Amino acid sequence: MELKQEQIEKFKSLHQSGELDGLTEGQIRNIAGGVVRLFLALKSIKDRLDKAKNDDSRIDNND
What is the residue-level pLDDT of the chain in tens, covering all 63 positions?
Answer: 677 888 878 877 877 777 788 888 899 889 888 988 999 999 999 999 999 988 877 766 665
| CB-CB neighbours of 19 under 10 Å | 9
pLDDT at 2: 74
* One-letter amino acid for residue 28 of the chain: I
Task: Look at residues 10, 11, 5, 17 and name the one whose alpha carbon lies nearest to residue 34.
Answer: 11
Report pTM. 0.62
**Residue ranges per structural domain of the chain:** 5-11+21-61
